[in-house]
Structure 1
Amino acid sequence: MTRLIFLLALVWALPAAAMGPWQRDTCHLEVPCALGDRSYHVKEPDGWDGETPMPVLIHFHGWQRTGALPVQHQRISGATRRRGVLLIAPNGNRKTWNMWSPETEDVQFAADVLEDVIKRYPVDTDNIYLSGYSYGSIMAWRVACDRGTDMNVRALLGISGTIDLSEDCAQSPREARHVHGLNDNVLDFPYGPDGDTTYPVSLWRDHLGCTDARTDGGDWAAVEFLSLSRTEWQECEAGIKVTLDVHPGGHFIPHGWIARQLDELLGREPVYP
């Protein structure tokens, strides 16, 4: 965290001309930003003035995809670009991630990506989010579990994929949010004992010191053909909150889910898109 703050202060000290439009000319959307022998994609928010510090969403792509997909995906970049959020989409080696065990080379890569982004852009380091879909969600969980504190992760936004829920995480995000389909036949819904549908976030409830008290957040929908049911655990240590949304569908990114999480985290009235 100290290193991140130092980098941010260094970037802010640069003259505005040094932060100019060269980023767009060198790496933007389908043109990746090189980082050693790895790379990542970037999508700036609509109407960004080139100076205002931006919240950052680091989104990890699914299996056999690349970061070029999230930065052009309506349910991902369509959400960030309308909310002043800088979208970062790293590229996994061989179009996948090494995320089943702690502190893999991909965990370090994720930390390196954030440092590189801070060198290129003015970043709101109080609003750094990790997200991912499918295998990318497992990767986001892994980074949050290993480096969530070091990277000052405000919230984890997981979609249809978790690490082993019995794992003892070294670190954590400041908030954990997850969504999963009850009929997911790719990465099965992780039911708990006796069919417990709140089990997918049990790791974070335990790690973040949440009580068993939970709040029924009710049903919500961004599109009329998909309703999501929300459960929240608000009585956690240090004011941390854990949120779970479930839906009756399968393995996909629900319409409006990322948008709603960002709106709530940024203190905005939830809207779609």
Structure 2
Amino acid sequence: MSRLFICFLFAFLGFSGPLAACEGQEACQLGDRSYHLRLPDQWDGQSPLPVLLHFHGWARQGDLIVRHDRIATGAIADHVLLVAPNGLNKSWSFGRPRSPDTDFARALLADVASRYPVDPEKIFVSGYSWGARMAWRFVCEDGDGIAALLAVAGTLSQSETCQTAPDVVRQVYGLNDQVLDYPMGPGGDQTYPVSLWRRHFDCAAGQDEGQWAARSFLTFTRTAWDCPGGQVVMDVHPGGHFIPHDWIPLQVQQLLETGETGSPIR
């Protein structure tokens, strides 16, 4: 039984209803740290909630994330408890293992579970840019029980050795990213940004799933791996350093509907 599940189990057993409100622009305090959350519009006030823990980009904070029109929308706005931690000095400590922000994120999830009923089998972790690197660090160090990593325009070094992993990894990156240059692999390998997970999951050759377009009309090229240890998806687009419209909500919608990679929702 994973440490995350045990943590949520004890929090759920002690849950007796939402604590004092801290939602939206009002931060939830956790010791000397804080985070923001957004309750889903269609929650009935009782059912266990899927959770999306999203790490903001550099120089941002969680108050932006809970009202972000590329994150707090679609399936996330309707069905998912969106949780947005605040980084110290508006940044994250992801450069080395044993990050203090990993401990903070784990404590934050436990705090959320003490405030609201959460579904321990539907905990998703995402991040953008600096926050994507922190999301990688978190699931690499303490990813047991995490259903999926959804990373946008940021990775860790592919030579890292992860102690834990989520069930599913989905990564999106722009080939013209001039902030965090696209980490092209040997011979121009465009799937290199997920080579760490392919190695960790003991993946064989990937499947080219062709192109698909989000409602923003941005075209993605997708490669997917169904591996013994987990599932990996890599989406590439011709743009730069940004969160593509609809990408995170669409991944969450698909995972909630199917629980697996499947074909992209169009």
Same fold (TM over 0.5): yes
Correspondence 1:181-220 to 2 at 5 A: 181-211=174-204, 213-220=205-212
Correspondence 1:131-210 to 2 at 5 A: 131-149=126-144, 152-210=145-203
Deviation at 1:5, TM superposition (A): 3.7
Deviation at 1:264, TM superposition (A): 1.4
Correspondence 1:1-273 to 2 at 5 A: 4-13=4-13, 18-20=16-18, 22-23=19-20, 25=21, 27-149=22-144, 152-211=145-204, 213-223=205-215, 225-234=217-226, 236-238=227-229, 240-267=230-257
| 1:99-125 alpha-carbon deviations (Å, 9 max, x no partner) | 010111111101111111111110100
Higher deviation after alignment, 129-138 or 222-231: 222-231
- Aligned residue for 1:72, secondary structure, equals coil
Q: Cα distance 1:2–1:208, how it changes in 2: closer, same or farther (>3 A)?
A: closer
Q: Cα distance 1:176–1:3, how it changes in 2: closer, same or farther (>3 A)?
A: closer
| 1:18-37 alpha-carbon deviations (Å, 9 max, x no partner) | 414x54x3x11111100000
| CA distance in 2 between partners of 1:187 and 1:265 (Å) | 27
Deviation at 1:4, TM superposition (A): 4.1
> Is the Cα–Cα contact under 8 Å of residues 149 and 170 in structure 2 kept in the other structure?
yes
| CA distance in 2 between partners of 1:51 and 1:124 (Å) | 11
- Aligned residue for 1:126, secondary structure, equals strand
Q: Which runs of 5+ in 1 are unaligned?
A: none
Q: Cα distance 1:216–1:50, how it changes in 2: closer, same or farther (>3 A)?
A: same
TM, length-normalised to structure 2 = 0.93
Q: Please tell me the residue identity of whatever aligns with 2:253.
A: D
Please, what is the CA RMSD of the aligned residues?
A: 1.9
Q: Cα distance 1:80–1:96, how it changes in 2: closer, same or farther (>3 A)?
A: farther
Deviation at 1:225, TM superposition (A): 3.8
> Is the Cα–Cα contact under 8 Å of residues 212 and 264 in structure 2 kept in the other structure?
no
TM, length-normalised to structure 1 = 0.90
> Is the Cα–Cα contact under 8 Å of residues 12 and 113 in structure 2 kept in the other structure?
no
Q: Cα distance 1:12–1:104, how it changes in 2: closer, same or farther (>3 A)?
A: closer
| CA distance in 2 between partners of 1:163 and 1:79 (Å) | 28
- Aligned residue for 1:56, secondary structure, equals strand
Q: Please tell me the residue identity of whatever aligns with 1:222.
A: A
| CA distance in 2 between partners of 1:224 and 1:75 (Å) | 10
Deviation at 1:81, TM superposition (A): 3.8
| CA distance in 2 between partners of 1:91 and 1:128 (Å) | 19
> Is the Cα–Cα contact under 8 Å of residues 43 and 78 in structure 2 kept in the other structure?
no
- Aligned residue for 1:76, secondary structure, equals coil
| CA distance in 1 between partners of 2:196 and 2:265 (Å) | 30
How many residues of Structure 1 are paired with residues of Structure 2 in the alignment?
A: 262
> Is the Cα–Cα contact under 8 Å of residues 130 and 156 in structure 1 kept in the other structure?
yes
